[in-house]
């Protein structure tokens, strides 16, 4: 009954609005929200109305940001720090559904406010987290370094989000949990993710090993990092991207896919007729009116399709839904890529996954070269059965990071000059 109750607490007729609300509720555990603030905001929203979603979350973010500024002015720095963190997350949530119109000025305005509020949080957090800029091709990728609280050289976990999340959100999606356990952590936004997409216009690219490689180069030069113990964690679509990187970069000593994604295009295949080869040929054709109609119908009937396609065109490119669908075909670990991964692999699976149900097993079965592999199933009864275990993050990341600690352990008495 727990799983059913949680799934239908709010927005019973809109699976995406409910999932994003649960996502915010899940961030409570690491300071990213308050239950009452989320519930009061959600109650004001008109189901299915993207403008209503924006207006109400933006209003909440503005109120909390004003509270933070007032507390800071009075010298109440702990209150200000905590309020800036929640405001940043609420701005992120407000902007989430706007990408159907890339010219909407609210996108950049709200994103910039989210980054500014998180920056204020970082400023008031002392030495526990710092902003970084990772050199990448002819630009930089934004991110954050969370140094280990332990002396000496300790393992480092590189973390990135997925199709729609930010490096700032990784604060709640594992960064703090790993730092608490003694790991160094570096989070970053790659191409297609907000820090690289919003102002630089960089779109997602399938060769993620060429994104992660420069990040490993960068983090290896940071103080206190054991360069022989580098691991990688990816969220959602990041669960495919991180596996792709691990297949081609031997410096990665362990990889965690939260959750395991074998082929991102299977999300679109749910709305199209035909096998993968037939659909791939059709979406890449100069004209495919039947596919166009199917995608239009899906967007009209499914909240998931409506959001995934409009957002996907914004972060992967494509001037039409079909062009976006064509681009998804390149994001997978097919054709022997999964079979290349030699390091330890953790594949997470959510019982009630809204987007990629069944894919973790597809990945897991193909990890034939992995030195050890684990399939971690998390359930509704545990409160962690939603996609990426939103709503059960402290529980889920406890298990994930315990798995990692058995493979790249922190050492409490590591020599300072090791």
The residues that are catalytic are 236
**Residue indicated by tokens 């603030």:** 37
β-bridge mates for residue 160, sequence order: 188, 234
What is the SS3 string spanning the chain? CHHHHHHCCCCCCCHHHHHHHHHHHHHHHHCCCCHHHHHHHHHCCCCCCHHHHHHHHHHHHHHHHHHHHHHHHCCCHHHHHHHHHHHHHHHHHHHCCCCCCCCCHHHHHHHHHHHHHHHHHHHCCHHHCEEEEEEECCEEEEEEEECCCCCCCEEEEEEECCCCCCCHHHHCCCHHHHHHCCCEEEEECCCCCHHHHCCCCCCCCCCCHHHHHHHHHHHHCCCCEEEEEEEEEEECCHHHHHHHHHHHCCCEEEEEEECCCCECCHHHHCCCCCCHHHHHHHHCCCCCHHHHHHHHHHHHHCHHHHHHHHHHHHHCCCCCHHHHHHHHCCCECCCCCHHHCCCCEEEEEECCCCCCCCHHHHHHHCCCCCCCEEEEEECCCCCCCCHHHCCCHHHHHHHHHHHHHCCCCCCCCCCCCC
Which residues make Cβ contacts (< 8 Å) with residue 60, sequence separation at least 6? 37, 40, 41, 90, 94
The alpha carbon of residue 99 and the mean position of all alpha carbons in its chain are separated, in whole angstroms, by 17
CB of 30 closer than 8 Å to CB of 177: yes
Peptide bond into 259 cis (omega under 30): yes
């Amino acid at each position: 009954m727990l799983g059913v109750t949680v799934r239908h607490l709010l927005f019973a007729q809109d699976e995406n609005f409910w999932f994003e609300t649960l996502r915010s509720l899940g961030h409570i555990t690491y300071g990213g929200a308050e239950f009452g603030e989320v519930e009061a905001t959600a109650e004001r929203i008109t189901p299915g109305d993207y403008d209503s979603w924006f207006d109400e979350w933006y209003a909440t973010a503005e109120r909390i940001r004003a509270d933070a500024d007032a507390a800071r002015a009075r010298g109440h720095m702990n209150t200000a720090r905590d309020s800036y963190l929640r405001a940043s997350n609420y701005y992120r949530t407000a902007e989430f559904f706007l990408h159907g119109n890339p010219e909407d000025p609210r996108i950049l305005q709200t994103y910039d406010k989210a980054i500014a509020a998180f920056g204020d949080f970082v400023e008031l957090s002392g030495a526990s987290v710092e902003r970084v800029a990772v050199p990448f091709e002819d630009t930089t990728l934004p991110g954050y370094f969370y140094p280990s609280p332990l002396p000496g050289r300790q393992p480092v976990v590189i973390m990135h989000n997925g199709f729609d999340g930010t490096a700032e959100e990784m604060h709640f999606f594992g960064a703090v949990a790993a730092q608490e356990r003694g790991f160094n952590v570096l989070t970053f936004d790659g191409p297609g993710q907000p820090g690289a997409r919003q102002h630089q216009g960089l779109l997602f690219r399938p060769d993620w090993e060429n994104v992660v490689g420069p990040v490993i180069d960068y983090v290896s030069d940071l103080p206190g990092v054991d360069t022989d113990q580098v691991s990688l964690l990816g969220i959602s679509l990041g669960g495919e991207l991180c596996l792709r990187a691990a297949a081609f970069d031997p410096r990665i000593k362990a990889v965690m896919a939260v959750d395991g994604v074998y082929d991102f295009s299977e999300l679109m295949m749910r709305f199209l007729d035909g096998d993968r080869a037939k659909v791939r040929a059709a979406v890449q054709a100069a004209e495919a009116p039947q596919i166009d109609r199917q995608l239009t119908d899906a967007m009209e009937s499914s909240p998931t399709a409506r959001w995934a396609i409009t957002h996907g065109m914004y972060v992967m490119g494509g001037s039409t839904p079909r062009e976006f669908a064509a681009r998804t075909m390149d994001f997978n670990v097919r054709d022997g890529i999964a079979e290349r991964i030699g390091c330890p692999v953790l594949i997470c699976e959510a019982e009630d996954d809204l987007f990629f149900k069944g894919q973790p097993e597809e990945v897991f079965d193909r990890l034939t070269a992995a030195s050890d592999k684990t399939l971690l199933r998390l359930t509704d009864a545990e409160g962690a059965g939603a996609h990426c275990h939103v709503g059960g993050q402290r529980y889920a990341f406890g298990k994930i990071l315990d798995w990692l600690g058995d493979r790249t352990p922190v050492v409490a008495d590591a020599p300072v000059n090791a």
